Structure 1
């Protein structure tokens, strides 16, 4: 009646062993480390390791050995004070290298080879950096106006409608025509193509003007789209630099919060977050002399003077393709010269324009302009953001064949420069520049204090539940305690395997789950006692207790699980952390309370045919 087949016991044992194995990495903790990586395309070598070792040893800082981890050298320390001193020392003494403080799990190699990893810790537990970014909505509106002006011009040219002028004044676009017929054609065309504009006309003498007004609703939509695109771009960029479980969310109408757990050196993160880089592919002016233009300071009409590594270059103002038409970008090497390059893939529109240009310009030169807009600070008088615009030609190469959607951009100097450019292009351009208006670093010491308090709360809660169950239900209480302990182990294992991020609210979810997990056992044990009072046999009471309590347990846990799923779907960072631990805890507690505890009861009491009493 109360027996499991051997395979079921073995399966339960296998699940418990697997859970214990993958929960194990969390007991090893983390150590503070300093990562050293080259600024330029210089590999970290054994000589670099020896130099780092000598500097740290001479300074009397206790540390583990220096090892190579990927493209960086990593030095592990026993305390945060030594880590900070070592970073200051290496930053001062090591020229040509970047240094960053971080935390690294102490998982043994054999366990890591089996796929074991510790739980990701949130900003409140691990420490890290917090940025508050402000989106320049004025620039977003200006970008949209430039795009509308360019698109209106292209539409009129395509339909062969000649215009006399086109310009913006405040939020109103004016397009002038020479005849009433041209104006009428343009009104029908622009009303259909540009729904964000409210169209009207103004005729005065021989002036026939179309007026397109950006309404308040359209302006709000532009700002909303800019914020949404910036959120998406920032998420892509943060994913590219490999930060585990970042928090990126909007705050109000113009601001974005970015939290990067584990990052303690903010320089690299800031360079990625507020960078606005894009490429423009332009024809080289083959007819005019770039040196003469540089000497006179005047470029010919239709061309712009640039510099490629100090050498003047004249490029046509016509843009063949831009970074906005880019689908993918990967750092690679040029097959002919072996120099660093970025392999580029364009969308259909960009590919068509590139194909048309290269087909007619084999043997001519094409320039690649890298454009960066670097935010500085707000003007104290106007309150507007100030920028430094950097434009340079990174390549001015000869077109040796016809190509369209796939080709390489060379002339980047170092492999690191190629990787950074590929990252920015791949992640996408910001719809509008952002400025970091608030920056906070949460030290790992504060995070460790939060961890200690969170672990203590789990331990106290678990201990109180174990004592109560043992006192009130005796032998069955001991069985429930074993199941409850296994439940905590399985919950930690699942959080580790799924790569979930543990935060303070997540620890609260674990504490709540510990309290809730015993509910199922209480329902089962009370049902068994009720069956015994009604005169049922002991074996029959055990079977009925588990069978009849199952539907009640399932109903209670499924409704709680639904609530947890809703919290995860609609909540933000901390709420999601609570929902994840609660969801996993519900599933593991049902398994341990119903399956594991039943297996233990069956092992103890199931083989006794004439069982007269049980300790419950």
Structure 2
């Protein structure tokens, strides 16, 4: 090897840099352990809520030492920002994909146009998007073009005053499209920046936010975040801040009386029209078709404060008296839980459970017809509920024809969490000059009229203060609302960042509890240690001292992998650890190839120096081809994968590069260094010296039997795919998945029956231990919003109550009780649209990898027959793995869902199978050059036999690794099972499928075989 000194210096420097990068991780680990010990000492397990208290104590401890110098001017805060990033599955946290509503952006650009063509196209686009791979805007253009004579540049659509500088009425649709695309991209970019500003102030380390293509989707990862509701509120809040004048309670009460009387008469008419109904419910259901606007004239209500308040008090007393309710039902007032104060902005109070029904009554067109002329634009809105309260206050906002507030949040230049005079948390805001002037006008009017101004955020009234000291100058204002300190900080953060240009729906989410993350770390480390130990022992057993040198190179390789990960700020996930362990197994392959070639050269009688030199040189081509093909599949995974799968691909690719360097250069340094003084180095031990020596198996003769066996397995698998299909995960079909842990063992079939009764469709499967279930449901999968998620979690809690620990509260269940290690440990939601996208991406990734492999092998071997054999073997392996999963998923004791991790496994199988096949093909090509006198079959069989030791050695070491991960990493068992099947079938296919198909295709196209020497002599004699 040339330039040994340069290689040695580079390896030492590279190793030193990796150690330096990993030192940050060591510093943070030691300090966090100190913080953990401090918290445990401060709060014993006997203290109530000790887990939460310990968490706070740890944070306070780390905050107190954050800026102190630890080593060489490095503080804990410095080290934390540079440590090896851990993914959600190792650290816990939240991962969401937000869909910025392009529909909302379009409506905003069109000034909420009422144009029939525009709205018809929007409705059609909504429907088309359910099964489309296009972006929303492209499908909108398709649907809009279907409408005869429809013009995007219509004054009623996009040729409006807001877009007058960009779009004019004489433009064609083709001219308008790129302008709209640009405007939408600007809006999504704006949303991205708003979310980034919010997240930067959220307080988690190493957050990740990125746009996903041109789809309007934004990925947000918050490792370590624990408060799910807080994060969802932070991400989904549009921050539409508005300031409105409000009606006083006595101004609206007459309308409520009129509405109640009309609803009551409608309910009475419904009763009389259906005499067969013997029993009425406590709450009458409004049939809006029964209302008649002429009934307004019959309603007479005294609107004076005293009479109105007295009347409503009487009605509330009646509602509490069951005997009165039996005689007389008041549809509206029966839902009221309390009344507002005289002269105040709160009209009435209603229980949360009745809020939707109450609001539906008020917004019914026939009921709104009762409003007097001066109140016709009134907007009813609920107030922010007090902490732990189930009651909502109703406000009546003075709306207008255009539904636009006098003052909006766009004028806010700064917002901070502060305290009022009574030491309650508030949010203080500062406005710009234009906002300050308008605020002065509004507060002066409110002061003169003794009225209030409602501060409304995302259609919720946070406060409606009066003005007691005259107009407010300078643009200062406050929002109060029974905030916690964190809520105040979040609200100020949101207001500073600005409003989102459109609504943001969570279409995919994954939430992992910290305790589950720690278990993942433990299982990952365990599998890593055992796999590494097995490989180190095996290499020494098989290759003796040379194996020990390979082991040292392997340890150096691991140091390089983790150092590069830390330096690149890559995220380490549980599949990433699997990728590293798998890389270790596959990196042994390079050393095995080199050592086997050296043994061959020694067997030819060469000196040790010459054998080592030629062995390294001859193995190089096979090593490069095998790793490049695996690397190509890893690249495809890196491009199409998200989250943990991208982590798997990252570590796999880094591992391939570092293992090439360590196997080719570092191992060589040790071997050459050992032999420079004439020491003999045996590349085997007594037990393995003659293993696989003089093996002469006629593989080609057995190919027809192999074809039959493979055909039977594939046909059985295809038949199963058509009859019982596969167990598709939520990644591909959409839905919600929860990992729920119980205090005692549970029977999944029994739990599933109770879940089906609540959700109509649900599945429950054991995940790991018998006290842990993976629960999946498609209930309301098409609906989005924080309220839907909360509703489903509530239903899940109620359905599982019989199996939960007595006294376990909903909050403990929903957030995973750290004290008791029970409840929801992780959850995942995938919307149907993104599930369809994932499915399509998976298909194209597998197909793309096959095409790339075909072209690469064609380029390397110059014969399409080699490409055909390799792709046929890969296709065979994929079908077998799919068939095995289809045949066995119903009775296997572990999760075998088809999800993104499974696609990663399929691509890994493709890479591994190619690795084997390319090594064999390289040897066949070599034999063609060296043994020109042999027949085609003799060369093929000779190549297969000569690489048999390497093939089985590599397969065995890789299987040792996979089995170790399979046993100890419970969440990855399905993933590992697919890889185990893939390695076994990949080894088989390289011997009995790829090479025979290549040989048969060579025969069929009539390529002339080389004649043996005997045949040539006979031909010459004749």
Q: TM-score, length-normalised on structure 1?
A: 0.56
Measured after TM superposition, the shift of residue 579 of structure 1 is 0.6
1:545 corresponds in structure 2 to: 615
Contact 2:580 2:652 in 1 (8 A): yes
* Counterpart residue number, 1:587: 657
Match of 1:495 in 2: 565
Kindly indicate whether residue 224 of structure 2 is the aligned counterpart of residue 262 of structure 1: yes
* Of 626, 635, 655, the match for 1:565: 635
Report the equivalent of 2:583.
Answer: 513
User: Does residue 372 of structure 1 match 2:457?
Assistant: yes
CA-CA distance at 1:15 after TM superposition: 2.0
1:124 aligns with 2:89: yes
Does the C-alpha gap of structure 1 residues 432 and 110 become closer, same or farther in structure 2, counting only changes over 3 Å?
same
Q: Matched residues in 2 for 1:570 and 1:103: separation?
A: 41
Paired residue for 2:233?
Answer: 271
Contact 2:243 2:455 in 1 (8 A): no
In 2, the alpha carbon distance for the partners of 1:101 and 1:301 equals 53
Q: Which runs of 5+ in 1 are unaligned?
A: 35-61, 66-74, 92-97, 153-165, 174-188, 200-220, 285-293, 305-312, 334-338, 346-353, 375-387, 400-408
Q: Which residue of structure 1 aligns with residue 13 of structure 2?
A: 14
Structure 1 residue 540: Cα displacement: 2.8
Please give the residue correspondences for 1:222-261 in structure 2 after superposition, counting only pairs within 5 Å: 232=192, 237-238=198-199, 240-241=201-202, 242-244=204-206, 260-261=222-223
Shift of residue 244 of structure 1?
3.1
8 Å contact 1:538–1:612 — kept in the other structure? no
Alignment of 1:102-501 (within 5 A): 109-110=70-71, 112-113=74-75, 115=79, 117-129=82-94, 145=107, 148-149=110-111, 171=119, 191-193=151-153, 232=192, 237-238=198-199, 240-241=201-202, 242-244=204-206, 260-279=222-241, 371-373=456-458, 388-390=460-462, 410-411=476-477, 420-426=491-497, 428-429=499-500, 431-432=502-503, 434=505, 442-501=512-571
Distance 1:131 1:594, change over 3 A: closer
- The alpha-carbon distance between structure 1 residues 146 and 461, as it changes in their structure 2 partners (threshold 3 A), is closer
Counterparts of 1:226 and 1:82 in 2: how far apart (Å)? 55
Are 2:430 and 2:477, in contact at CA under 8 Å, matched by a contact in 1?
Answer: no
CA spacing shift, 1:537–1:429, aligned 2, 3 Å: same
Tell me the CA shift for residue 455 of structure 1. Answer: 1.2
Give how far 1:571 is off: 1.0
**CA displacement at 1:538 relative to structure 2:** 2.3
Q: Which residue of 2 aligns with 1:383?
A: none
**Is the contact between residue 23 and residue 496 of structure 1 (CA under 8 Å) also seen in structure 2?**
yes
**Gap change, CA 1:342 and 1:78, over 3 Å in 2:** same
Structure 1 position 90, deviation (Å):
9.1
Q: What is the rounded CA distance, in whole Å, between the counterparts of 2:152 and 2:195 in structure 1?
A: 34
In the alignment, the residues of structure 2 paired with residue 483 and residue 574 of structure 1 have an alpha-carbon distance, to the nearest angstrom, of 28
Greater fraction of residues in helix: 2
CA shift in 2, pair 1:136/1:600, >3 Å? closer
Structure 2 match to 1:4: 4
Matches of 2:655 and 2:61 in 1, distance apart? 27
Q: In structure 2, what is the Cα distance between the partners aligned to 1:463 and 1:342?
A: 61
Contact 1:278–1:372 under 8 Å retained in 2: yes
Aligned to 2:622, the other structure's residue is in SS state: helix
Aligned pair partner of 1:613 in 665, 670, 680: 680
* Aligned 8 A contact 2:236 2:503 in 1: no
> Can you list the C-alpha shifts for 1:135-190, whole angstroms capped at 9, x where unaligned?
898xx86785465246x6xxxxxxxxxxxxx78899469xxxxxxxxxxxxxxx99
Q: Deviations over 1:236-276 (max 9, x none)?
A: 644552453558999xx999997643122335324312322
Are 1:525 and 1:545, in contact at CA under 8 Å, matched by a contact in 2? yes
Distance in 2, matches of 1:574 and 1:126, equals 12
Normalising to structure 2: TM-score of the pair? 0.36
1:514-536: per-residue Cα shift (whole Å, max 9, x none)? 11111111222223233333344
Equivalents in 2 of 1:394, 1:429: separation in Å? Answer: 29
CA shift for structure 1 position 18: 3.0
Q: How much has 1:512 moved relative to structure 2?
A: 0.7
Deviation at 1:302, TM superposition (A): 12
Q: Which residue of 2 aligns with 1:348?
A: none
Structure with higher strand content: 1
Q: Which residue of 1 aligns with 2:446?
A: none
CA contact (8 A) 2:100 2:505 kept: yes
**1:32/1:83 contact within 8 Å kept:** no
- Give the Cα–Cα distance (whole angstroms) in 2 for the partners of residues 546 and 325 of structure 1: 70
Q: What is the SS of the residue equivalent to 2:458?
A: strand
Change (3 A) 1:226 1:595: same
Change beyond 3 A, Cα 1:169–1:518: closer
CA contact (8 A) 1:279 1:370 kept: yes
Deviates more, 1:553-562 or 1:110-119: 110-119
Inter-CA distance 77–540: structure 2 relative to 1 (3 Å threshold): farther
SS in 2 for 1:109: strand
Distance 1:235 1:363 in 2: 29
Tell me the distance in 2 between the aligned counterparts of 1:83 and 1:235: 38
2:992: which partner in 1? none
**Counterpart residue number, 1:23:** 22
Query: Structure 1: how far apart are the matches of 2:562 and 2:439?
Result: 63
Contact 1:231–1:248 under 8 Å retained in 2: no
* Inter-partner Cα distance in structure 1 for 2:654 and 2:541: 28
Q: 2:49 aligns with which of 78, 85, 96?
A: 85
Contact 1:230 1:431 survives alignment (8 Å): no
Question: What's the RMSD between the two structures over aligned residues?
Answer: 6.2
**TM-superposition CA deviations, 1:394-442 (whole Å, max 9, x none):** 998758xxxxxxxxx7545899958743545536516226589x99864
Distance 1:81-1:302 versus aligned 2 partners, 3 A rule: same
Counterpart contact for 1:19–1:490, Cα < 8 Å: yes
Provide closer, same or farther for how the CA distance between residues 364 and 228 of structure 1 changes in structure 2, counting only shifts above 3 A: closer
Task: Give the distance between the partners of 1:344 and 1:601, measured in 2 at CA.
Answer: 73
Instruction: Check conservation: 1:33, 1:77, Cα contact below 8 A.
Output: no
> CA, structure 1 residues 119+482, in 2 after alignment: closer, same or farther (shift >3 Å)?
same
Q: How far 1:488 moved relative to its partner?
A: 1.0
Instruction: Quote the Cα distance in structure 2 between the aligned partners of 1:314 and 1:100.
Output: 49
Residues 1:588 and 1:512: Cα distance change in structure 2 (over 3 Å): same
2:825 counterpart residue number? none
- 1:470 is displaced (CA, Å) by 1.0
* Contact 1:331 1:340 (C-alpha < 8 Å) held by counterparts: yes
Larger radius of gyration: 2
Q: 1:585: Cα distance to partner?
A: 1.1
Question: 8 Å contact 1:331–1:418 — kept in the other structure?
Answer: no
